[in-house]
């Protein structure tokens, strides 16, 4: 993809910088890890510090000292997460801030206005994120509202240098997903996202929906699977034709001591690593793996040192980005299916316990929940 702030090689994973920062990472560390594009969020940056302040500081790129591309989510998922604190109408959404309880209103036009003030390279349409499970009648109504809002977003867009992506909804119903693709492509967007997934549905149903939806999207335009996911999800998503991914999983898991490696996940607090002199992942070239042992990483995490969060995050982000580099190389060499097969065969978790499932937001939980 070509953007105002440079080219992006796809398929690509976008580290999540919800509030103008990828947690526990500096912009230089992100570049060293191989990040070509990151994600910011309209809802959070609107509430704090405010999009007008960011505009006055030259836009989000300058404000956060990031000169590579940025995609901004519209805030639809965050407002969906507010539950009883929000009320959806035809005009938009009335909601209370999760920070201080103040009341706000966000419409499709307002979402575009905020994203244009932020100056992101790719803006997302404001959509109604459909929950799971939901009655078919509700899914249809929600999807139709997303389509009407999408047209209003398209009409409100003024900036010629910012791309705008439509978001396909329709729950897990194949015919509704097809109807959504047809409605959005009739409006016309620069790219298309598959939304409304990783919200509680079974993993196999999520991938079945992706498999049914992606072939319907226009060839030659970016396809973005929102809020997904595990390393295995990325590999399977690419298999089905997805170009862009984002998820807080690598950063949030890092802060909670769950680390991804080429052989599976490692829960670094476990006693088995107390005297382990090996690097976290011998095949990883990140700063953490080049310089520190598992024993040291465990010590930092048990001692609740800030450096633990930083070193863990450096590794997890690099692991995800290196995985995408290997995927791109495999595609270019015509051996992706071989890569996909061997990737699954060589991964075995060193530590028991599931990786968190479902789409997560980086800031909507309390510190106590984040520590658990």
Bridge pairing between strands 103-106 and 38-41 = unpaired
Contacts of 77 (CB under 8 A, 6+ apart): 129, 195, 226, 227, 359, 361
For the sheet with 86-88, list strands across it: 86-88, 93-96, 103-106
- Please name the residue that has the structure tokens 């990483």: 297
367 SS3 class? helix
- Is the distance from CB of 317 to CB of 34 less than 8 angstroms? no
Q: Cα–Cα distances in Å, from 256 out to 20, 22, 164, 308? A: 21, 15, 34, 10
Bridge pairing between strands 258-261 and 264-267 = antiparallel
* 289-292-298 Cα angle (round to 5): 105
Which are the catalytic amino acids?
73, 246
Residue 203 phi, psi dihedral angles, 5° rounding: -60, -40
End-to-end CA distance of the chain: 38
DSSP class of residue 354 equals P
Contacts of 292 (CB under 8 A, 6+ apart): 279, 280, 311
Half-sphere exposure of 301 (CA within 13 A, CB side): 26
DSSP class of residue 348 equals -
**Bridge partners of 14?**
246
Q: Give the span between the Cα atoms of 130 and 170, in whole angstroms.
A: 8
Bridge pairing between strands 93-96 and 258-261 = unpaired
């Amino acid at each position: 993809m070509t953007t105002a702030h440079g080219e992006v090689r796809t398929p690509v994973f976008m580290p999540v910088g919800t509030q103008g920062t990828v947690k526990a990472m500096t912009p230089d560390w992100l570049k060293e890890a191989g990040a070509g594009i990151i994600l910011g969020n309209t809802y959070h940056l609107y509430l704090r510090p405010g999009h007008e302040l960011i505009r006055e500081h030259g836009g989000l790129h300058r404000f956060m000292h990031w000169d590579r591309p940025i995609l901004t989510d519209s805030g639809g998922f965050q407002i969906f997460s507010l539950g009883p604190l929000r009320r959806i109408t035809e005009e938009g959404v009335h909601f209370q801030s999760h920070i201080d309880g103040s009341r706000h209103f966000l419409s499709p036009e307002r979402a575009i206005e905020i994203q244009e003030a932020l100056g992101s390279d790719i803006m997302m349409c404001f959509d109604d994120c459909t929950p799971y499970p939901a009655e078919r009648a509700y899914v249809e109504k929600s999807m139709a509202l997303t389509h009407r809002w999408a047209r209003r977003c398209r009409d409100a867009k003024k900036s010629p240098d910012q791309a705008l992506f439509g978001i396909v909804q329709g729950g897990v119903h194949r015919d509704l997903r097809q109807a959504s693709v047809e409605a959005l492509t009739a409006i016309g967007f620069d790219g298309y996202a598959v939304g409304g997934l990783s919200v509680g549905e079974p993993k196999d149903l999520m991938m079945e929906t992706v498999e049914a939806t992606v072939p319907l999207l226009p060839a030659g335009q970016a396809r973005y699977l929102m809020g997904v996911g595990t390393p295995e999800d990325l590999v399977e998503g690419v298999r089905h034709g997805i170009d862009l991914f984002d998820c807080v999983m690598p950063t949030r898991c890092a802060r909670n001591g769950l680390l991804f490696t080429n052989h599976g996940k490692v829960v670094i607090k476990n006693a088995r690593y107390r005297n382990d002199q090996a690097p976290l992942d011998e095949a990883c070239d990140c700063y953490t793996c080049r310089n520190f042992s598992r024993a040291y990483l465990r010590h930092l995490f048990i001692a609740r040192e800030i450096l633990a969060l930083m070193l863990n995050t450096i590794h997890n982000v690099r692991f995800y980005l290196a995985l995408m580099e290997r995927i791109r190389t495999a595609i270019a060499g015509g051996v992706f299916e071989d890569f996909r097969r061997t990737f699954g065969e060589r991964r075995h978790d060193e530590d028991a316990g599931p990786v968190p499932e479902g789409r997560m937001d980086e800031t909507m939980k309390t510190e106590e929940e984040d520590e658990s």
